[in-house]
Structure 1
Amino acid sequence: MKRPVLAPSLMLFGALAFFTAFFLAPFAVVIFASLTKGADQAFTLEHYVRVLGDQYHWDVILVTFRIAALTTLISLLLGYPLAWYLVRVVKWRAWRRACVILLVVPMFTSNIVRSFGWMVLLGRKGLVNQSLMETGLIDTPVRFLGTELGILIGMVYILLPFIVLAAGNALAQVDPAFEQASEDLGASPRATFFHVVLPLTMPGIISGSIMVFTLAASAYVTPALLSGGRISVLSMLIFQQYSSVFDFNYGGALSVVLLIFTLVMVGLAGRVGSIRGSNP
């Protein structure tokens, strides 16, 4: 007896229902709250005017996306060579698997735990400062906590695996025959990399960078702990409005602004990546 085949629309119903219930519906509530005011829920743009008309909020937005952009750039500069090492240099499969496990295992640990770990390491008497002083690189402890540098260190550590995995997967898909053909035609290894390998791995680079950027722009735990409250990002303002001030209308406006700015940045990155990929 032949088993009945479910229609594609029915197969997608569960996913669409989940997406609607846990994303679209809450997002609609946030947008509605950001556009209303008072007990009568009167329509207003006051909350957006408050966010976009205050220099303090623009400074917070600048800090938020500066940290996200620097986190993405540093993760890419560190992650792509590491992905190259794992895919192209390591020949022993057991060692490659061990490296991947070491890279992925920390992702199963809470960001709170890892951020607290960095608070210990980056303290004035932490391992990092002690090591720098013992090697003679510094005479007095460097203040990492409460600075953007400290936040960047923690963010790069937490988000680096996304770049490595995405770029490594793209590198693994590149056929070595393309590189051999390039070398046979007289191209140098440097030219082969920049004109053959890099454009072919650009989709992986762009996808990994987008993941890192969006996660960094919306991160709360790591900036909150490593900044010690001295540096504010949008996620911290949003959390404060929802958990302490209980101003859901203003918090909703902040959330929508963060989402819109992030989508604009991601769209620009995707556009630049598609142009770069089509014109190697």
Structure 2
Amino acid sequence: MNARRNTLPYWLSAPSVLVMLAFVALPLVITLSLSIFPFEPGGAVGNHLTVANYAEMVSDDYYPLIFLRTFGMALVVTLVCILIGVPEAYVLSKLSERWRAVSIVIVLGPMLISVVVRTLGWAILLGNEGVINKMLLASGLVSQPVKMMFTLTGVIVALVHVLVPFMVLAVWATLQKFDAATEQAAQSLGAGLWTIMRRIVFPQVIPGVLSGGLIVFALAASAFATPAIIGGRRLKVVSTTIYDEFLGNLNWPLGAALAVVLLVIVLAVSIGMNRLIERRYRQVFQ
């Protein structure tokens, strides 16, 4: 009886483990193995092992620039999502149950729409003949359309709209454990709103900011649809470069190598930031 009882959790988790191995682990292993084979003319893959694909990424200045642009963009998107998401989650936590439910639906509304549809909507807004430029021209603030499409700024704006709900949800979940008595005590001692946010609220929501920031950073660094539509063909990031190598140049080994490096860097940044912020978080509350 004890043996059966001990093995039951393993049998219950076996289906999800098999699905993860089949749809996550196996494709990653295939991608890694593909990246260590050479590219042959005509779109073929060689038979011998090589590190030429990784050496090409290091030796060619084009690929470090692409990675720098990608992770710089992801970092800016993450910071903007933190600046927007933390106050928004704080306001949500202060609303009544009725208005909180309505506000959460509004926050989650963009997530119910396809990312492609949302990005195309931003393309309409940001174009030279788009709504934003027409409003700026009509108000007299500018004399000619402001170029926002096919720019890094436009990509960042669209990605923030797509990803800020993840930050709001992560911080709002942390605020459910927030001790309101500490905030009331600070108010009774004469602390202002900014002091309360900086000294009391923000230190307690660091876990939510961390988890939301990691999610936003990973999704922004690997985003494809938004950079492809808003950024266009000239503003390359790693995801669109991988797409071009796979389907444009038919260089599957190099595309696989780019995907592996992207995955490794995202994992390294996520794990490193997780340990760093957790260490500081413990120091604050010890």
TM-score interval, smaller chain:
over 0.9
Q: Percent identity?
A: 32
Amino acid at match of 1:17: L
Partner residue, 1:161: 165
Amino acid at match of 1:70: V
- Offset of residue 244 of structure 1: 2.3
Give the 5 Å matches for 1:168-187: 168-183=172-187
Q: Find the residue that maps to 1:255 and give its secondary structure.
A: helix
8 Å Cα contact 1:163-1:208 kept in structure 2? yes
Amino acid at match of 1:61: F
Deviations 1:137-193 (A, max 9, x none): 222110000100110111001001001111111112202123234455675554443
Distance in 2 of aligned mates of 1:97 and 1:188: 28
**Is 1:64 paired with 2:70?**
yes
Distance in 2 of aligned mates of 1:87 and 1:42: 58
**Is 1:195 paired with 2:199?**
yes
**Is 1:22 paired with 2:23?**
yes
Choose from 98, 113, 117 the match for 2:121.
117
Amino acid at match of 1:21: A
Q: Find the residue that maps to 2:12 and give its secondary structure.
A: helix
Q: Find the residue that maps to 1:60 and give its secondary structure.
A: helix
Distance in 2 of aligned mates of 1:120 and 1:198: 36
Name the Cα RMSD after superposition: 1.8
Choose from 116, 139, 147 the match for 2:151.
147
Structure 1 unaligned spans of 5+: none
Choose from 107, 119, 133 the match for 1:129.
133
**Is 1:9 paired with 2:10?**
yes
- Offset of residue 196 of structure 1: 2.5
Distance in 2 of aligned mates of 1:239 and 1:40: 20
**Is 1:31 paired with 2:32?**
yes
Bigger Cα displacement from structure 2, 34-43 vs 110-119: 34-43
8 Å Cα contact 1:47-1:250 kept in structure 2? yes
Distance in 2 of aligned mates of 1:189 and 1:159: 27
Deviations 1:246-267 (A, max 9, x none): 2211111000111111112212
- Offset of residue 273 of structure 1: 1.6
Bigger Cα displacement from structure 2, 134-143 vs 61-70: 134-143
- Offset of residue 56 of structure 1: 0.5
**Is 1:78 paired with 2:84?**
yes
8 Å Cα contact 1:199-1:276 kept in structure 2? no
Amino acid at match of 1:68: A
Bigger Cα displacement from structure 2, 64-73 vs 178-187: 178-187
Q: Find the residue that maps to 2:260 and give its secondary structure.
A: helix
Give the 5 Å matches for 1:44-63: 44-63=50-69
Distance in 2 of aligned mates of 1:33 and 1:176: 54
Amino acid at match of 1:34: S
**Is 1:278 paired with 2:282?**
yes
8 Å Cα contact 1:162-1:212 kept in structure 2? yes
Choose from 232, 236, 260 the match for 1:232.
236
Q: Find the residue that maps to 1:7 and give its secondary structure.
A: helix
Deviations 1:192-225 (A, max 9, x none): 4323221111000000011100000000000010
Amino acid at match of 1:29: I
**Between Structure 1 and Structure 2, how many residues are aligned?**
275
Distance in 1 of aligned mates of 2:258 and 2:209: 29
Q: TM-score, normalised by structure 2?
A: 0.90
Amino acid at match of 2:12: M
- Structure-2 change in CA distance of 1:186 and 1:98 (3 Å): closer
